[in-house]
A and B are shown apart, each in its own frame.
Chain A
Amino acid sequence: MTSEEAPAARDVAVVAFAQTDHRRSTAESSEVEMLMPVLHDVLAQTGLKTADIGFTCSGSSDYLAGRAFSFTMALDGVGAWPPVSESHVEMDGAWALYEAWTKLLTGDADTALVYSYGKCSPGSVRDVLTRQLDPYYVAPLWPDSIALAALQAQALIDAGHTDEPALAAVGARSRADAAANPHAQLKGRQPQGDYVVRPLRTGDCPPVGDGAAAVILAAGERARELCARPAWIRGIDHRIEAHGLGVRDLTDSPSARLAAEKAGVFERPVDTAELHAPFSAQEVILRRALRLGDDVRVNPSGGALAANPVMAAGLIRIGEAATRIHRGTSDRALAHATSGPCLQQNLVAVLEGDPR
């Protein structure tokens, strides 16, 4: 072996995706009870059993559940005994997928199960999310998630990049598209509503809801065995910006743009983009940052404005993009997930189907 070139990376694909019907409350189910049908669904799609899975990775948040180590309870749903190779991120499942993707690239596993879930109904998610903010300068003021998104929206309006009618149109289009999505929580014509925190109205904000999602990844030939048209992950990258809101240019998303560049988005056009934009103004920012033209189908699922189960909504974007490739309605799709206030952290993946 004299070559100094690294061996070619393995091809890894999304081969199955499932999600719950997202609802305002699922008090009748514990987290694992809500999650299990979704896990069984992706396993059934591939014919795999939990014992066949090489690596398992999940995403969730103790702050939604109000309990420490809450993810350990959900592990019952994947048959964690006998011991499984398993990991967890206290983040959206999109980041769990990133970890699983790197695990498959190493060759340590050929298949991975990625799942995530969030029940927003037990608490007030607007207040819960304040606990992720800077604990010295920001969290003591309890600025809720809608307030921070509203500051970002006003900055965007002041910069001349949008106005309130344009924002309303983003919400209306998302919910109209969601009419074809059986899992969406808010679909069809919805009133734009009153201001929640001005300039954002009800229609500019995501519904609060509970839900879960699961994805199976497979490498190389294993992916072709498990799926007729695998959604190959051609690139995936995630970047973060300064935590100080007043340090950042809230009208832009340089971290999303950089992640997209590193993931290879700009090498060739995409036909579909699933953007994790919980607030209408964030879609405007992401379209600009990711240079998405009017010819790109954005959020045909309805996006996070139609269903936003916290910790699962980003993974769902990857799953929805992959599903369109599986069905042949997309050949090259962008999937995006965000975390933190005002698009602080962004993950971008490029998915492709085999040429037809």
Chain B
Amino acid sequence: MPEVLQAPLVVEFPFTRSLGPVQSAFLTGLRERVVLGVRTGDGRTLVPPVEYDPVTAEEIRDLVEVAPTGTVTTWAWNHEPRRGQPLDAPFAWVLVRLDGADTALLHALDAPGPDAVHTGMRVRIRWAGERTGAITDIACFEPYDGPAAQPGDHTGEFAAPLTGIVAPARLDYTYSPGRAQSAYIHALSQQRTVGERCPSCRKVYVPPRGACPTCGLATAEQVEVGPRGTVTTFCIVNIKAKNLDIEVPYVYAHIALDGADLALHARIGGIPYDQVRMGLRVEPVWTEGARFPDHYRPTGEPDADYETYKELL
């Protein structure tokens, strides 16, 4: 059995998120060094604020300012900060109940070591130098033994309130396609196409995924298919894809390789787009060093009889 393949896979997405009136006021406030909470029907002040009362589910919008000083309600010492976390040096994760609030906010506490942190300790906000309207506008908390700061009386009305945020996310993976697809990719590197045959219904699946989707059985028997095949259906692409250097219009087709019971899809070249047809016989065109066929072109054979590929449509 050939070696199972692995490759790095990075998934990154900049999520664009809308803010409602409450989240807008809170995040805009951080930009202006103002911390806002929201008051519930029973008179509690929630920081960070939410739009709906967690107990009654009633909509709440009554914004009140709280102080930038507060008390640690629980903590955890993080001696190995990870990518994206607020501080690069060892720090404490803390839940902090700001003075004037009834609930706690999660953030980081800059402290010299775990012995300098305890539940009940007093802390204050250290603001980030550049603030954009994000939770990271609070750079972190720092120990503070002065008097409690007096909260202002900000109403939550700002001249240029934020209406949305962009929250970038990135996750790193090591992708492995497993046994069946590894074998398929290995074969492609030798310009061969292999599928797998179901032990029950005898159908050959390309690309193989290690299971027959009809029978729900494991497949293992490898079968070489193609290289020639038949266009079973196709579409004409008229819009140029970003970062893709192919002139439009072009044809994208389902191709039943000889010996396969499932159609692959690929681009058709070497023939004007308006002459591609169902039943057209095609063969792969490889470019130097490529890991898969660049496109398929007509073989010049007579078209396949409809009866030979109608089951694969």
Contact = CB atoms under 8 A, between A and B. Distances in A.
Given A137-B48, A137-B135, A198 B77 contact: yes
Contacts of A3: none
Given A36-B218, A66-B9, A127-B82, A141 B169 contact: no
Interface in B105-119: 105-108, 114, 119
Nearest to A123: B173
Nearest to A77: B211
Interface stretch (B142-150, B178-186, B283-291, B296-304): B178-186
A79 interface: yes
Interface stretch (B83-91, B122-130, B229-237, B271-279): B83-91
A150 B93 contact: yes
B53 to A, nearest CB: 10
Given A141-B85, A142-B82, A76 B211 contact: yes
Contacts of B106: 137-138, 141, 143, 151, 245-246
B27 A77 contact: no
A142 B165 CA distance: 16
A73 B177 CA distance: 11
A191 to B, nearest CB: 18
Contacts of B6: 27
Contacts of B172: 123-124
Q: What secondary structure prevails in chain A residues at the interface with B? A: helix
Contact of B76 (A80, A131, A198): A198
Chain B: number of interface residues, binned into ranges? 35 or more
A250 interface: yes
Contacts of A354: none
B176 interface: yes
B216 A151 contact: no
Nearest to A78: B216
Nearest to B55: A242
B215 interface: yes
B46 A247 contact: yes
A252 to B, nearest CB: 13
Interface residues of A, number: 61
Interface in A118-139: 121-124, 126-128, 131, 135-139
A147 interface: yes
A76 B17 contact: no
Interface string A16-41: 00000000000111111100110110
A142 B210 CA distance: 36
A246 B101 CA distance: 11
Contacts of B175: 66, 122
Nearest to A31: B178
Nearest to A28: B4
A128 B172 CA distance: 9
Given A39-B216, A122-B173, A158 B85 contact: no
A195 interface: yes
A242 B53 CA distance: 9
Contact of A142 (B17, B83, B181, B214): B83
Nearest to A43: B216
B15 interface: yes
A199 interface: yes
B74 A155 contact: yes
A193 interface: no
A50 B213 CA distance: 11
Interface string B48-83: 101000100000000000000000011111110011
26 contacts: A27-B174, A30-B179, A32-B209, A40-B218, A63-B171, A66-B173, A79-B212, A121-B174, A122-B174, A122-B175, A123-B171, A124-B172, A136-B23, A137-B135, A140-B134, A140-B135, A141-B84, A141-B85, A141-B107, A150-B76, A150-B93, A151-B95, A153-B76, A155-B74, A246-B95, A246-B97
Interface of B: 4, 6, 9, 11, 15, 17, 19, 23, 27, 46-48, 50, 54, 73-79, 82-86, 93, 95, 97, 103-108, 114, 119, 134-136, 165, 167, 169, 171-181, 209-218
